[in-house]
Amino acid sequence: MSFNIVQKIDDRVEIRNVLLSVFDKTGLDALVSGLLSACPHVRFYSTGGTYKAVQALLGADAAKRLVSVSDYTGQPEMQGGLVKTLDFKIYLGLLGETYNAAHQADLQRTGAVAFDMVVANLYPFKQVIAQAGVSPEQARTNIDIGGPCMIRAAAKNYIRVASVTDAADYPALIAEAGAHGGSLSFATRLALMKKAFAHTAAYDAAIAAHFAPLDAAQTGAAYSLPCPA
């Protein structure tokens, strides 16, 4: 397998397509309204509860500014929301490189869009395991899969995509975009990438640390295991 070595990138990338999936919706209203004001061509793609929240914020504008990920991918969500964004069209849009002709052909062939920003935060694993008496199953079900994948893909492609994981960054991003025709700089995307990988690394470390001392008997007690043959 050969790896792509990118040599040409753009400093400023206009925010047109935003993939939104947030468990903690703090600041979401300000982010959506701010991006609408700062980025004249912005469109939001979202799932589940985030989709409903953004739909309510947009009101009548939702018809032209908001797309359900299920409608975009052509696939319904898996029961329990276990699979929503793990789709080829999503990751084409996250990992595609601007000046790679093959990537651009793939986007055109599939009808995929290039995502310029991902806004995501994760299931509250640390908060759940901090509760007294939490079971291994309660911990397991609060392990986020799609969120870290999106964050990591966007962060890897910082040469084009902004990976936003901290609501505290929303005001500065909106201000920068508003001052520069709806675009963010390479320096901003690089800074966001560093925070994104630190965020997912800490999340994975918390999962590993929680399960490390649990043996099969302790973990299996949460389930009805079949009797040994």
**Residue 6 domain-assigned (yes or no):** no
Q: Which two tokens stand for residue 195?
A: 């925070």
Burial class (CB in 10 A: 0-12, 13-18, 19+), 174: buried
Q: What is the pTM of this model?
A: 0.92
Contact (Cβ atoms closer than 8 angstroms) between residue 174 and residue 38: yes
**Residue 35 domain-assigned (yes or no):** yes
Which range has the worst mean pLDDT, 36-50, 81-95, 106-120?
81-95
State whether the Cα torsion 184-190-195-196 is positive or negative: positive
* Phi, psi of 46, deg, nearest 5: -155, 175
44's CB contacts (< 8 A; 6+ apart) are: 18, 20, 32, 54, 58, 65, 66, 67
CATH, residue 186: 3.40.50.1380
Mean pLDDT of the chain: 93
**Residue 7 domain-assigned (yes or no):** no
**Residue 218 domain-assigned (yes or no):** no
User: What is the helix (H) or strand (E) element at residue 46, kind and residue range?
Assistant: strand 43-46
**Residue 220 domain-assigned (yes or no):** no
**Residue 123 domain-assigned (yes or no):** yes
Q: State which residues form the domain around 80.
A: 13-213
Q: Specify whether the backbone of 226 is left (phi greater than 0), alpha (psi in -120 to 50) or beta.
A: beta
Residues counted in the chain: 229
Q: What is the pLDDT of residues 6-50, one digit of tens each?
A: 999 999 999 999 999 999 999 999 999 999 999 999 999 999 899
Burial state string for 58-93 with b = 16 or more CB within 10 A and e = fewer than 16 = beeeeeebbbebbebbeeebeeeeeebbebebbbbb
Q: What is the pLDDT of residues 153-191, one digit of tens each?
A: 999 999 999 999 999 999 999 999 999 999 999 999 999
> How far is 170 from 160, CA to CA, in rounded Å?
18
Strands 183-184 and 13-14: antiparallel
Our CA angle for 38, 155, 27, nearest 5°, is 45
Cα dist. 123→120, 146, 203 in Å? 10, 10, 10
**Residue 81 domain-assigned (yes or no):** yes
Number of structural domains the chain divides into? 1
**Residue 156 domain-assigned (yes or no):** yes
Report helix, strand or coil for 21: strand
